[in-house]
A and B are shown apart, each in its own frame.
Chain A
Amino acid sequence: MAKLPDEELMFQGTTACPGCGAAHAMRYTLKALGKDTIMNLPACCWAVIPGVWPSRNLDIPLLYNAFEATGAASSGVRAGLDVNGIGREVTVVGFAGDGGTADIGIQALSGCLERGTDTIQIMYDNEAYMNTGIQRSGATPYGAWTTTTPVGSRQAWKKNPKKNMMEIVNAHGIPYAATVSIGHPESMIDKLRKAKEIPGPKFIHIYAPCPTGWRSDPSITVELCRLAVDSCVFPLYEIENGVYNVYKKPKKKIPVREYMKLQGRFRHLPENEVDRIQVNVDREWELLLKKEAFTKEQVV
């Protein structure tokens, strides 16, 4: 496993909140991909974190784009570089939040994957629209409070499941997709480097806690990442040409309760709802292991 590269392409002076998972997500991404990277940023927290003009704390070319447009912008940058004779030596990345990926940007993402653009599309997932102040997204998990899934007298917390973006991108038949976590930076860097080497469209799903929106203590961001993996709420796995590989299997699976109780966004949930979430997590985890076994068997 790679040790963390020394190269630093993200400088001090970000406008991120303390304990921001998205800030780590960018830092490790750039450590993995290096300076020959061009990054598309739609509207999201990361449209603000690099600082306001004329300052900038990322030492790579940045292209800000409209919220819904990241996938299309990645195809455009790739095409523009290609006609200028700049090939795979420059990596084109789309770096969008969960809203910009799973909701408003899903059409552009789908187009980009389907037409085979050589790019890495990254979703840093803080499970809500954080830049506009914690509204639900398609990636907000079942049970969570947000300002548009308020608890109130009608207990209107989110009643819909989290969109499974890995399955959605995999259904496009792309060569590589992986979930990574800022709580496991070495493997995160490994997977990003692997993605960089593979031609064609790749997708990386980064788990990036947001203390502001999750109502969690900024000092436990990394701990939450580890708990998410150990409870199988956010399994770490990759899909390479349709073959699943769960690269981090918890030695001892911990209850989701342990993970949820550290976050204010789940505080209102009654016990039976937490049990229900546990049943779902268990089921998804079993299903994932079966997919892994099945697809690996097919290869042999």
Chain B
Amino acid sequence: MSKTVIVSGNFAAAYGAKLSRAAVVAAYPITPQTEVVEKIASLVADGEMDAQFVKVESEHSAMAACIAASNAGARAFTASSAHGLTLMHELLIWAAGARLPVVMVNINRAMGPPWSVWADHHDALAQKGTGQLQFFCESNQEVLDSVIMAYKICEGSDIMMPAMVVEDAFILSHTKEPVEIYDQELVDEFLPPYNPEYKLDVNRPFGFGSLGMPDWYMDFRYKMAEAMDKAVDRVEEVNKKFKEVFGRDHGGLIEEYKTDGVDVLIFTMGSISSTSKDVIDELRAEGHNIGLARLRTYRPFPAEKLRELTRNVNVVGVLDRSYTFGHMGDSAGEIKAALYGHKDLILKNYIVGLGGRDLTPKILKNIMLDTLSLQDKELDEEVEWVDLRINQERWRR
């Protein structure tokens, strides 16, 4: 029987790993991810989770151990955040190159210096080119569900890529919400045991990850690119299947909120989407024709879906909880690139909430009103930083 419990995003991540029957967990503590590690340690200690918990001495080693365990034929799981995630960088790329469906949860957190432990997408977005599939979550339930779905997506024999499920520091990681913990049998049916075609086996010896000369290397990379392209459809398929079995739909590639026939569209990622949806309701009640699209899958990037979604839209406001230094917010850049040559519209990028700066409904409303105003005036600034100490008055009024 499934049961609903009130748990934090971190516990949801741990239960996601448990329900997925992750058999090897290698992880290293870091605020705000620590509870995931602690919870798994206690689930294993209490005999509730049948897994080997490898207590590594760094995140680099955590991912290295997961990769090796996956190579040995075990379903592997880890979790990290910010400095831990970025220390893993080499191995994130390795996991992808090795074509291993290791799944991790990243509790996104701002990068230092200055040290910060609060929500910010810089850590995860800096990994967008590593070959990890990336899913940005809005609720604790979605964290749990996304872990299960990630294994299902990634273990497909034509995919075999690693994935990262991303949740916002504290806002999800430490906030308790009702989460349904599904019946194990149901999950087992949805997600059969991990049984890779190639693994370390003394009876069938292969060398994994040897030197690749220039006449081969590029073709291996192309196969990864193909797998990522295929993952676009696979995300939608698995999302649909998940809905059939568990009755929940988190949106697959992009979650749409009141997007039918809108003139103005707001793009968000992660937990700010919930408050933003309330603000959308308010604005619609006031007569504005505005809707919201939540970028849920960031890798593979859902370019095609985006083009469909914006076909009749004139103005787009993109909220980024991070900044790519020297250019603009990451998702704004990606959205622009995806639309270029397909659709001519006005796009404004808002940089918001870095290092956990609070995003109140008032600020979000002011942002959306600013986007709406672009229907009848020229684009003032391509990128605007919102609620800085120097412009707080404008955004909080």
Segment touching B, from A147-155, A217-225, A259-267, A282-290: A147-155
Closest residue on chain A to residue B113 by CB atoms:
A64
**CB < 8 Å A-B pair total:** 67
Q: Is B46's CB under 8 angstroms from A153's CB? A: yes
By secondary structure, the A interface counts as loop
Taking the closest CB of chain A, its distance from the CB of B192, in whole angstroms, is 28
Segment touching B, from A89-97, A128-136, A173-181, A185-193: A128-136
Q: Does A9 contact B (CB under 8 A)?
A: no
Q: Is A43's CB under 8 angstroms from B57's CB? A: no
Taking the closest CB of chain B, its distance from the CB of A142, in whole angstroms, is 14
Residue-by-residue, is B28-45 near A (CB-CB < 8 Å gives 1, otherwise 0)?
111100100110011011
Closest residue on chain A to residue B45 by CB atoms:
A152
A131 to B117, CA, bound (A): 12
A106-B57 contact in complex given A64-B113, A129-B29, C-beta closer than 8 Å: yes
**Choice from B45, B83, B112, B114 contacting A156 with Cβ under 8 Å:** B45
Q: Is B58's CB under 8 angstroms from A68's CB? A: yes
Which residues from chain B contact A48 at a C-beta distance below 8 Å? 115
Q: Does A277 contact B (CB under 8 A)?
A: no
Chain A contact residues (Cβ within 8 angstroms of B): what range? Answer: 20 to 34
Which residues from chain B contact A149 at a C-beta distance below 8 Å? 41, 55
Q: Which of A77-107 contact B (CB under 8 A)?
A: 103-104, 106
Which residues from chain B contact A182 at a C-beta distance below 8 Å? none
Q: Does A293 contact B (CB under 8 A)?
A: no
Q: Is A156's CB under 8 angstroms from B44's CB? A: yes
Closest residue on chain A to residue B59 by CB atoms:
A104
Which residues from chain A contact B47 at a C-beta distance below 8 Å? 152-154
Q: Does B126 contact A (CB under 8 A)?
A: no
Q: Is B57's CB under 8 angstroms from A135's CB? A: no
Q: Is B42's CB under 8 angstroms from A152's CB? A: yes
A68 to B46, CA, bound (A): 32
A154 to B44, CA, bound (A): 8
**Choice from A68, A104, A148 contacting B41 with Cβ under 8 Å:** A148
Taking the closest CB of chain A, its distance from the CB of B52, in whole angstroms, is 12
Q: Which of B40-94 contact A (CB under 8 A)?
A: 41-42, 44-47, 55, 57-58, 83, 87
Which residues from chain A contact B115 at a C-beta distance below 8 Å? 43, 47-48, 64
Closest residue on chain A to residue B33 by CB atoms:
A132
Q: Is B83's CB under 8 angstroms from A43's CB? A: yes
Q: Is A148's CB under 8 angstroms from B113's CB? A: no
Taking the closest CB of chain B, its distance from the CB of A41, in whole angstroms, is 10
Closest residue on chain A to residue B87 by CB atoms:
A68
Taking the closest CB of chain B, its distance from the CB of A164, in whole angstroms, is 15
10 closest Cβ pairs, A-B complex: A152-B45, A103-B57, A156-B45, A104-B58, A147-B38, A132-B29, A135-B29, A150-B45, A148-B41, A152-B46
List 7 other contacts, CB 8 Å, given A133-B29, A149-B55, A154-B46: A104-B28, A148-B37, A148-B55, A150-B45, A153-B45, A154-B45, A156-B45
Give A contacts to B, CB under 8 Å: 43, 47-48, 53, 64, 66-68, 103-104, 106, 129, 131-133, 135-136, 138, 147-154, 156
